Structure 1
Amino acid sequence: VARNRYIQEVQGYNTTVRQFPTNITAKVFGMDTKPNFTVTDEDAISTAPSVDFGDSAKAE
């Protein structure tokens, strides 16, 4: 969810920086487009982490 929100915000920022007349103001203040979020190993983050809470019989 957070990654998608970040990507949407970067896309919105880049669109604003490129559109006229805000692109003139952006150039004056040195605002440039930002790179989007990329992952080098998509398979590594697509699997959920395994969680072990120990033996539930000992907790009782």
Structure 2
Amino acid sequence: MPQLNPAPWLFIFLLSWVVLLLIFKTKVTLLSPMNNPSMPAPLMHQTAPWNWPWA
């Protein structure tokens, strides 16, 4: 019975995981951040602080 021999199925299982990991690795490395995280964002719209009447 060929199902009892785990050698080819183990290789197929490992090879499929390697292929999936390579695909995900290439997709993740192609991503770029939307903004530069090392530079703080400029404060363009500064609003006045709220004055609460009961404070």
TM surpasses 0.5:
no
- TM-score, scaled to structure 2: 0.37
* Structure of greater relative contact order (alpha carbons < 8 Å, 6+ residues apart): 1
- TM-score, scaled to structure 1: 0.34
More helix by share: 1
Structure label with greater radius of gyration? 2
